[in-house]
A and B are shown apart, each in its own frame.
Chain A
Amino acid sequence: MLSLYLRLISARIRAQMQYKISFWLELLGFVLVTGLEFAVVAILFARIPALAGWNIAEVALLYGLTSTAFSLAEMAGRGFDAPFELMMQRGTFDIVLIRPLGSFFQVLASEFQLRRLGRTIQGLAVLGFAFARLDIDWSLARLAVLPISLISGSIIYLALIVIGATLCFWTIKTPEVINVFTFGGETVTSYPLSIYSRPLRIVFLGLVPLGIANYPAALLLLGRSDPHGLPAGLAWAAPLVAALSLCRCPGLLASWRQQVSKLRELNFR
């Protein structure tokens, strides 16, 4: 299945490369647009020296972690977004249903947006800036927490994108409401979670657990502790939370299947 997935997305990437100029322009566009996101943060810090005790480099670490994770999720998962919406509208979902593979797998493999690498580049650049400015006392744990944070983060983002897609069955249009959690979550988790009110912290650590991927990891990297008493070992719980988000996926898959069959009963055009 994995080799078929890789084959299908490599076909998708080759197809995108048929339009090279457009590809590179879009990639550049993503670098610039997402670059503006961090520019806003930088402007803020030109006015204030620190936010709840966090300086610009420390916030850059948070931002870099969440933005890079988001970019990876977007790259892999955006097939569930606009391309899926188009499938529903144009009825090309028929083609998915005449192939001997699960529809969920096919939608996932139908798109791989390499141009989202623009955000990855920007995210990594911000991370680079953070590491250059910060004096991190590197240890094995601190080295390990980096990939853990990025991978867990992208899986949680991916789960959110997929939830958005299953909502699409009800509306035939991808509901913008999921962007509140993806883009909104990205903005919220760009700052230390300690600055938010309790309900918001609960949402972003529990319900939409994007905060768990980057905030505790940043605490660990910086040797800080959370003023609200978040346990220090929470950074290592991120993979578990990501796995749980994925485990929601069987449930999600079941509801996906249900929606697909409902759609097939309704004659979707």
Chain B
Amino acid sequence: MVPNGAGKSTTMKMLTGILVPSGGHINIAGRVPYRQRVEHVRNIGVVFGQRTQLWWDLPTIESFELLRHIYRIPERRWRTNLDTFCQLLDLEPFLETPVRQLSLGQRMRADLAAALLHDPAILFLDEPTIGLDVVARERIRQFLTHINAERGVTIILTTHDLADIARLCQRVVLIDHGRIIYDGALEALRARYGRWRTLVIDLSHEMNGLVVPHAEIVRQEGPRTWLRFDRDVTTARRAHR
């Protein structure tokens, strides 16, 4: 989770072997992604939220079949996986629909299934819930929780959606300008960065010497005032009073 343009997609592309890093080392499951691209990608699944890997003009099922041949998945294994994903992601109703006619939510579900048919050990998701409605998001989160718990698939995802993180992530890495600024559990992150709150209030007129219990005034511009407080000590409501 990082702001736009901070290097999230680039990191994802380096981890998936698409881009070669200009410095540093990457090692995933004993392989260097950009050097052993083919061996590496056999072991991973990738979903780009903004781009599909499915065959646009063909019925969805055909993409799954082509992937079976591309990854040389044994037919029985493929069948079992497909049945499982059909059930979990409710793919059945649109298996025969051309990909170009799928809704964004349907397409994302199909893309997820496509990325997992070859039993990858690691699943990379670049903004998997982008543009989806609440129900669709929730369904995808449930699915990801399931495959993580039941199939032991490691999931690495980028997102702007805090709810995604709260629901899915045991480990959070914050990147800012290409540097890791935090690496740990979400709870500890909240405690560390989420403790201080800033409240901006607009007063009816400019006031000097304002005193608010448990909060300090950090900035004043005319009638507008910035208050900083520790959320473990007080709340915005109390500070406001």
Spell out A's residues near B (CB within 8 Å): 3-4, 7-8, 11, 14-16, 18-19, 91-92, 94-95, 97-102, 261, 264-265, 267
| CB of B13 closer than 8 Å to a CB of A | yes
- Range, interface on chain B: 20 to 34
One digit per residue, 1 when the CB lies within 8 angstroms of any chain A CB and 0 when it does not, for chain B 40-63 equals 011010101001010111100010
From known contacts A4-B69, A95-B53, A100-B41, infer whether A265 and B58 are also in contact, taking CB-CB under 8 Å: no
Contact between chains at B70 and A264 (CB < 8 Å): no
Contact between chains at A98 and B19 (CB < 8 Å): no
**Option from B51, B58, B62, B98 in Cβ contact (under 8 Å) with A95:** B51
From known contacts A99-B70, A264-B34, A265-B20, infer whether A94 and B98 are also in contact, taking CB-CB under 8 Å: no
How near does chain B come to A158, taking the closest CB pair, in angstroms? Answer: 23
From known contacts A15-B57, A98-B46, infer whether A261 and B70 are also in contact, taking CB-CB under 8 Å: no
**Interface SS, A side:** helix
| CB of B27 closer than 8 Å to a CB of A | no
Contact between chains at A14 and B70 (CB < 8 Å): no
Residue pairs across A and B with Cβ atoms less than 8 A apart, 24 shown, are A4-B70, A7-B69, A8-B66, A11-B55, A11-B58, A11-B66, A15-B58, A18-B98, A19-B57, A94-B51, A95-B53, A97-B37, A97-B41, A98-B41, A98-B44, A98-B46, A100-B41, A100-B42, A100-B70, A100-B71, A101-B38, A261-B34, A264-B19, A265-B19
How near does chain A come to B59, taking the closest CB pair, in angstroms? Answer: 9
User: Chain B: which residue is nearest A97 at the CB level?
Assistant: B18
Q: Which of A8, A14, A99, A100 has the most CB of B within 10 A?
A: A100
Spell out B's residues near A (CB within 8 Å): 10, 13, 16-20, 22, 34, 37-39, 41-42, 44, 46, 48, 51, 53, 55-58, 62, 66, 69-71, 98
Query: In the complex, what distance in Å separates the CA atom of A131 from the CA atom of B85?
Result: 59
How near does chain A come to B48, taking the closest CB pair, in angstroms? Answer: 7
**Interface SS, B side:** mixed
From known contacts A18-B98, A97-B18, A264-B34, infer whether A11 and B62 are also in contact, taking CB-CB under 8 Å: yes
Query: In the complex, what distance in Å separates the CA atom of A267 from the CA atom of B14?
Result: 10
Query: In the complex, what distance in Å separates the CA atom of A4 from the CA atom of B70?
Result: 7
How near does chain A come to B213, taking the closest CB pair, in angstroms? Answer: 52
Query: In the complex, what distance in Å separates the CA atom of A236 from the CA atom of B213?
Result: 98
Query: In the complex, what distance in Å separates the CA atom of A3 from the CA atom of B22?
Result: 38
Chain A residues whose C-beta falls within 8 Å of the C-beta of B53 in the assembled complex: 95, 98
Chain B residues whose C-beta falls within 8 Å of the C-beta of A102 in the assembled complex: 38
**Option from B13, B44, B66 in Cβ contact (under 8 Å) with A94:** B13
Chain A residues whose C-beta falls within 8 Å of the C-beta of B13 in the assembled complex: 94, 267
Contact between chains at A15 and B56 (CB < 8 Å): yes
Chain B residues whose C-beta falls within 8 Å of the C-beta of A18 in the assembled complex: 57-58, 98
Chain A residues whose C-beta falls within 8 Å of the C-beta of B66 in the assembled complex: 7-8, 11
How near does chain B come to A43, taking the closest CB pair, in angstroms? Answer: 41
How near does chain A come to B170, taking the closest CB pair, in angstroms? Answer: 25
From known contacts A94-B13, A98-B46, A100-B71, infer whether A267 and B19 are also in contact, taking CB-CB under 8 Å: yes
Chain B residues whose C-beta falls within 8 Å of the C-beta of A97 in the assembled complex: 16-18, 37, 41
User: Chain A: which residue is nearest B115 at the CB level?
Assistant: A98
Query: In the complex, what distance in Å separates the CA atom of A76 from the CA atom of B66?
Result: 19
How near does chain B come to A89, taking the closest CB pair, in angstroms? Answer: 13
Chain A residues whose C-beta falls within 8 Å of the C-beta of B42 in the assembled complex: 100
How near does chain A come to B20, taking the closest CB pair, in angstroms? Answer: 4
The 9 closest A-B CB pairs, nearest first, are A15-B57, A100-B42, A265-B20, A98-B46, A97-B18, A18-B57, A264-B20, A95-B53, A100-B38
Q: Which of A3, A18, A19, A102 has the most CB of B within 10 A?
A: A18
From known contacts A4-B70, A11-B58, A15-B56, infer whether A98 and B51 are also in contact, taking CB-CB under 8 Å: no
How near does chain B come to A7, taking the closest CB pair, in angstroms? Answer: 6
Contact between chains at B18 and A94 (CB < 8 Å): yes
Chain A residues whose C-beta falls within 8 Å of the C-beta of B70 in the assembled complex: 4, 99-101
From known contacts A7-B69, A15-B56, A98-B46, infer whether A92 and B20 are also in contact, taking CB-CB under 8 Å: no
Query: In the complex, what distance in Å separates the CA atom of A9 from the CA atom of B168?
Result: 39
